[in-house]
Amino acid sequence: MDQTRSESPALRVGVLGCSDIAWRRALPALAADPAVDLVAVASRDEAKARRFAGRFGCEAVTGYRVLVDRTDVDALYVPVPAALHEPWVEAALRAGKHVLCEKPLTVDAPATRRLAVLAASLGLVLLENFMFQFHAQHRVVRELLDQGAIGELRGLQAVFTIPALHPEDIRHRLELGGGCLLDVGGYPIRTAQLFLGPGLRVAGAVAVRDPGSGSGVDVSGAALLASAEGVSAQLTYGMAHGYRSAYELAGSEGRIVLDRAYTPPADHRPVLRLETKGGAEEITLPADDQWAELVRAFAGAVRGERNLDRYTELTIRHAELTGEIQRSAGLG
């Protein structure tokens, strides 16, 4: 273990909301990190809070505001529905808490920028949870690009689609920030940001609304982005599909293909396919736990050992791009 981490006081974390992703992924990662003390989990439903707290060995709290106001908590993880992120993240920041928030940080760009500015003015860490970007496999892809393994980058294709959700899933509720663009669509957008740089613009987008439930949310979509240098990014996303999680980078002299790009299990050894004029090669990479890496990054930033300003910039521009895609696709 890193010596500094082992000697620093544990980061005292509270969880604001009892979501499925908190149960399956975030809380196990927080509870497993020796540099984190999982203090309490809050829900509006007392029974649900007790169930979560019982599994993860922390205190159950009824009501979000009660947890926000506690003085024995340094940071909050916020996995409430997307439309509720803005008020609760702001409340947490104004209470002096660092915040790790599920994506999207908010449902509109001005609110995202406002919260980022607020966090910076208070000297607090605010991190939007696109956990995949902390997985080591993407650094390997970047290194290959920088080494010129496929020549000059010409284009990117990224896809994240999942099977149809239960009709009662909150992602089918428009008033809670539902829809595929704000959920799975964020991963291809962030991939384009990571590899094509900050000058991205939206060249076009389409969306298909849910035809069955009448909820009005988008269940399928695609967008075409372009970098300042004219490199294109073709993005596909949806929540009424077969599962797909991959991206491909095409260059002047080859291509890189990465499957299981966004939700690899912690024990999964990624296989990166590199195709060049000399032939095709499959490179097996070490396993990595992107949730554990996310927690380490967040806790390290709170301790002042890591600078996450780059991710703040990505988050702000990501929100702007999402709004541009919504308008281009007629989502309003």
| Three-state SS at 143 | helix
The predicted-structure confidence for 233-242, as pLDDT tens digits, reads as follows: 999 999 999 9
| Domain 135-288 classification at class level | alpha beta
**Which CA distances in Å does 172 have to 5, 21, 22, 128, 318?**
41, 16, 19, 22, 22
pLDDT category, 1, cuts 50, 70, 90? very low
User: Which residue, among 108, 97, 100, 51, has the nearest Cα to 80 in the 3D structure?
Assistant: 100
pLDDT of amino acid 213 = 61
- Is 103 annotated as catalytic? yes
Residues with Cβ within 8 Å of 58's Cβ and at least 6 positions away in sequence, in order, are: 15, 31, 38, 39, 40, 41
Q: Tokens representing 200?
A: 């991205």
The predicted-structure confidence for 270-319, as pLDDT tens digits, reads as follows: 999 999 999 999 999 999 999 999 999 999 999 999 999 999 999 999 99
User: How much is the mean pLDDT over the chain?
Assistant: 96
Relative to beta strand 59-62, strand 36-43 is parallel
Give yes or no for residue 5 having a pLDDT over 90: no
Give yes or no for residue 6 having a pLDDT over 60: no
Instruction: Find the DSSP H helices in the chain.
Output: 3-7, 20-21, 27-32, 46-56, 64-68, 85-94, 109-122, 136-146, 186-196, 290-302, 309-329
The predicted-structure confidence for 220-230, as pLDDT tens digits, reads as follows: 999 999 999 99
The predicted-structure confidence for 144-194, as pLDDT tens digits, reads as follows: 999 999 999 999 999 999 999 988 899 999 999 999 999 999 999 999 999
Cis preceding linkage at 270, omega within 30: no
pLDDT of amino acid 167 = 87
Tell me the domain boundaries of the chain. Answer: 3-129+295-308, 135-288
Contact in structure between 219 and 254 (CB atoms under 8 Å): no
Give yes or no for residue 332 having a pLDDT over 80: no
Give yes or no for residue 119 having a pLDDT over 90: yes
One-letter amino acid identity for 279?
G
CATH architecture of 3-129+295-308: 3-Layer(aba) Sandwich (3.40)
- CA end-to-end span of the chain, whole Å? 49
Which one from 48, 97, 103, 277 is the annotated catalytic residue? Answer: 103
